[in-house]
Amino acid sequence: ETGVTQSPTHLIKTRGQQVTLRCSSQSGHNTVSWYQQALGQGPQFIFQYYREEENGRGNFPPRFSGLQFPNYSSELNVNALELDDSALYLCASSVGQQETQYFGPGTRLLVL
Amino acid sequence: RKEVEQDPGPFNVPEGATVAFNCTYSNSASQSFFWYRQDCRKEPKLLMSVYSSGNEDGRFTAQLNRASQYISLLIRDSKLSDSATYLCVVNDAITGNQFYFGTGTSLTVIP
């Protein structure tokens, strides 16, 4: 059984650029949630995708968007990057919307 | 007010000690509760779910107090490998699918 994978592992961008982060869910999981974790903080919920539809969103602006594909993998897109977007971006998959979430290793994004 | 609040610590305890962490949550209608463990520069990993009746997994015991809206984690006979940040997690009471994480409690077990 393959766990949750994310790519890339690290990324450096400049302000104003756009970034796409990718996540493959664990086998058998149909739900993907994305989180942002700033240094010294707990993960903050960005949004969740269930059966290719956004299924809940945290307090993040519209420049944070996502997709889920038929194979349940997912992308997080961030437009017009700001310095404060520098963080660890975590993807978590689950067998359902309210079930236990299993995390991937994350993507570390640095915005200069 | 934050959805989930934890004492950030740090907790520094000797090997073999018993240590307890508490976490409070703001919404009385929350239904799912978890403890996750996060090692430095790694992803959070599920330690245990927390059930209404309390539950135990080896040296770890989790308790839920709905009346006071807090969750606890007890670690007995601490090992060096228990050193990590422990995150308290509560689901959103309305949608159920949004998970709220505390800021984490840092534990260092000292030889």
**pLDDT at B27 (0 to 100):** 87
**Residues A31/A55, Cβ–Cβ less than 8 Å:** yes
More confident residue, A90 or A40: A90
**pLDDT at A60 (0 to 100):** 96
Report d(CA A88, CA B83) in Å as an integer.
21
**pLDDT higher than 70, residue B93:** no
Q: Is A101 on the interface with B (CB under 8 A)?
A: yes
Average pLDDT over residues B34-44: 95
Q: Which residue has the tokens 């030889």?
A: B111
Average pLDDT over residues A59-83: 96
**pLDDT at B69 (0 to 100):** 94
Tell which residue, B43, B48, B45, B71, has the closest CA to residue B58: B48
CA distance B33 to chain A (A): 9
Give the nearest chain B residue to A33 (CA atoms). B98
Terminus-to-terminus CA distance in chain A, angstroms? 38
**pLDDT at A10 (0 to 100):** 96
pLDDT band at B68 (very low <50, low <70, confident <90, very high): very high
Strand partners, B106: B85
Q: Which chain B residues contact residue A48 at CB under 8 A?
A: 97-98
Q: Which chain A residues contact residue B43 at CB under 8 A?
A: 90, 103-106
Give the nearest chain A residue to B97 (CA atoms). A98
Average pLDDT over residues B23-42: 92
Q: Which chain A residues contact residue B87 at CB under 8 A?
A: 42-43
